[in-house]
Every structure is written in C-alpha cells, then in structure tokens.
Chain A
Amino acid sequence: MRILILMAFALGASAQEDELFWYDNYKEALKVAKETGKPIFLEYRCEP
C-alpha cells in the first residue's frame, strides 16, 4: 500500500507551474494530444 500512496502523491494534481498539469476530461486530453502530437498518459483512480 505504501507504493500506492507514494504514487498517488507523486502523480498528484498540482496548480504549481513547475509541476505537471493533469486534465480531468478525457475528451479534452484527446484533443490536446491531437494538436500537440504527444501521447496520452491516462490514469484511472478511485476518487480519494
């Protein structure tokens, strides 16, 4: 369980500029991926 918690924190949403931006809308992420040519990193997680 420790790894799971660590992962949740490490990948956690953040508003800080130096941290990753996470979309919460899959369709929007698809659109951005099309526009940027980037792949998608999709996380399914139970709402804490």
Chain B
Amino acid sequence: MLSPKTSPLGKQLANYVCVRVTRMDNVDIALFDHDRNNTIYFYLLNADEQIYMRYGGRDSRSADSYLSMESLALAAQKGLDLHAAYKSGKLANVERVKPMSPREIPLLVSRTFAQGSCVECHLISDFQNMHREQDGKLDKLVHLFRSPDLRTIGIELDVPKGLEVKAVSGPALQAGMMPGDRIAKWNGLPVWTFADAQLAYDKVPRAAKEVPVVVDRAGREQTLTIALPARWWWTDTRWRQSSIEPRSYFEDQPMTADEKQALGLPEDGFASKVKYVAEIARSTKVHELEVGDVIAAVDGVQRDGNAHTASLYLILKKTPGDSAQLTVLRGGKRLEMPLRTVRMSFRK
C-alpha cells in the first residue's frame, strides 16, 4: 500500500502525471470549483484542462465517509478510459468557465498574500462570502451549504464501489431507485464519483422541488425523478464553523411534533431545544440561554420555510452583530430574552 507503483492504484497512477497542490495562490478557482472545506480533493483532467471527474467530497459525520482506496482506484481507471476517448476524439469538449484567481478576492489578498500567510482552501470561500455579504449578494442557502448529502433523499452508497447504490429509502425509493443501481447522471450532468454527484447536487437551485437522476441498472439507463424534501440542501455545519456566520454560541435540536404540541407550539414552526451553550456565551454576554430551554420564537416569528431550528433561522436571517429577541420556555415559564449575534475574530 505504501509503494504506490506496486499497488493496484499505483499501477493506474503511473499512467498519470501526478501533481499535489497545497497552496491555493495560483489556482483557477473557477475551474477547480469545490467545497473548500474538504481536507483532500482530487481532479482527473487532461492537458487542455478538461476535467474528467472529481474525487472527494464529504458529509457532516466525517471527512472520509465517502473516500476509499477501492473507489479511488475505480475513478483512476475510469479517468484513463475517458482520456483514451478524449484522445480519439470521442469525448465532447466542455465549455471552459471564465478563470478566476484567488488574487481577485481583496480580503484574501490583504489577510493572506500581503501577510505572507498560507492561502488555506477554506479562506477562499470564507472571504468570498464576506464580500458577497458586503455587496448584498450572499445567498446563504447556496453559499453556506455547499455539500448536500445524498442520504437526505434516501440514497446510501456502497462507498468502495463508487456511485453504486447500497440501500434506498424515502424519496429515492419512491422514485424507483433500487440497490445495485449505479448513478450515472445527476440533474443532467454525467457523474462518475461521489464528488461529481455532490457537486452536481450542489448546483441544483435551492427552490427546486425535484431532481432528475439517471441510473445504470444492469446495463440499461433509467431516468428517475426524485422529489426533494424541505431543506434538502441542509447539512449539519458544526464541522465547518469558520464558514458559518453569524455565531450565536449555542446548539439546538429540532423538536418532534408531539413535543411541540405538548407546549402549544405550531407543528410546522422552528421551535427547538437548546442542547449546548458555549462558555463564551456567558463571558461575552451574548445571551442567557441554558441547556433544556425551548426557543419558541425569534423576533416573534415561529415559522420559516427554510429553518427547522431557531439557530438555523438566526443563521439565515441575521448578519453578524445583529440582535434578536428570543421567546424562551423554561421550567413552565415564558421568558423574553435578548440575543446578540457575533462575527468570528479572524473575519473582523
């Protein structure tokens, strides 16, 4: 395993020009577009910079939920197949996107290049989002939630086998997907790896109600239309906290319909239960929430089409430094409590 040329993967990689990039200084970030919070990410492409596929991607559970040596070897083999097709003129050219350099992001330049600091991958999207926020162009559903999870619509992949489906439930099952299917196209885009599928999923408009997915079933293509549930784009973002603002220094969890009913709260509301309060919330006096509190409303609002918890509502509706009035249920009492949201220090 540690001698790549003698391993199955190594034999395939010997047919590639391998290159490792650990600084983003001179990368075309428009061409190499992926969620910058991935620890490791691969592109298989040709010398004309036509990308055959990506490899990587993750979920909120772990950085390597969707990585395996077996699926990487599959991808490497497929990349060689696509390259052979390209060389023989059998692969359609893809229109090149307009290049973009990290040096076009002023905050990135002043905070990293000018300081001689490492241009870390996540800083690119972090500072891009700050500019978008300043320009009123930040679409939080799109720019903060870049790694939608296939499990949200009931697709469990057999990870070592790439995009082969292991188990199906929910919307994917209702659409007719079956174990053993291999996902071939997502929203019209050819996909060869989980990373391809996740990126194609990320490009689906957030208001979409369904997504077309083509599967290869025993050699025959089947087109399925999968209904997208509310918040299909949402993932737990605690693993990427530097990307998510404003901060409120607490964590909460959605309440069940029964729990809400018992407290006289609307079933379709975003009332949530506080499960963690960071110590810094006390010292900075941004709020006085306690574990076990129920946040019944924010600024008198109880429902939102995109939020299923009060914390998500705050992220979607507030800008760092904004205040909010929380309606909190604690020990049978109803409290009105001020909250102040916070911007992370490295962004100030």
B18 and A23: CB pair below 8 A? yes
Per the 8 Å Cβ criterion, residues 76-126 of B in contact with A are 76, 79-80, 83, 87, 118, 120-121
Q: Is the CB of B79 within 8 A of A39?
A: yes
Q: CA A13 – CA B47 in complex, angstroms?
A: 22
Looking across the interface, which residue of chain A has its beta carbon closest to that of B49?
A30
B22 close to A45 (CB less than 8 A): yes
List chain B residues, Cβ under 8 A from A38. 15-17, 83
Range, interface on chain A: 35 or more
- Chain A residues whose CB sits within 8 angstroms of the CB of B1 once the complex forms: 6, 9-10
Residue ID in chain A nearest B9 by CB atoms? A10
For A11, the closest partner residue in chain B by CB is B4
Q: What sequence of 0s and 1s flags, for each residue 24-45 of chain B, a beta carbon within 8 Å of any chain A beta carbon?
A: 1011000010000011111111
Q: Across the two chains, which residue of chain A brings its CB closest to B26?
A: A26
Which chain A residue lies CB-closest to B1? A10
B238 lies within 8 A of chain A by Cβ? no
> Contact check: which of B5, B46, B68, B121 meets A39 at CB < 8 Å?
B46
B345 near A: Cβ within 8 Å? Answer: no
Asked if A2 contacts B64 (CB within 8 A), the reply is yes
A residues less than 8 Å from B218 (CB atoms): none
Separation of A6 and B61 alpha carbons in the complex (Å): 18
Nearest-neighbor residue (CB-CB) of B42 within chain A: A43
- B170-188, CB < 8 A from A: none
Residues of the A chain whose Cβ atoms lie less than 8 Å from the Cβ of B44: 39-42
**Contact across chains for B10 and A20 when beta carbons are under 8 A apart:** yes
B side interface size, CB within 8 A: 51
Q: Are B42 and A42 in contact (CB under 8 A)?
A: yes
Contact yes or no, A18 B3, CB < 8 A: yes
Which residues of chain A (18-42) have a CB below 8 Å from chain B?
18-30, 32-34, 36-42
Shortest CB-to-CB span from A41 to chain B, Å, is 4
Residues of A within 8 A of B23 (CB): 47
Note all chain B residues with C-beta closer than 8 A to A19: 3-5, 10
Known: A10-B1, A22-B20. A4 touches B63 (CB 8 A): yes
Tell whether A1 is near chain B: CB-to-CB under 8 Å.
yes
B67 → A minimal CB distance (Å): 5
A16 to B4, CA, bound (A): 11
Q: Are A47 and B22 CB-contacts (below 8 A) given A40-B47, A41-B13?
A: yes
Query: Are the C-beta atoms of A24 and B19 separated by less than 8 Å?
Result: yes
Pairwise interchain contact A4-B39, C-beta atoms closer than 8 A = yes
| CA of A7 to CA of B3, assembled, Å | 12
Structural contact, B40 and A40, CB atoms closer than 8 A? no
Which B residue sits closest to A48, measured CB to CB? B22
Question: Besides A29-B18, A39-B83, 13 other CB < 8 A contacts?
Answer: A10-B2, A13-B20, A19-B10, A20-B4, A23-B18, A23-B19, A24-B21, A32-B17, A38-B16, A40-B16, A42-B21, A47-B22, A47-B23
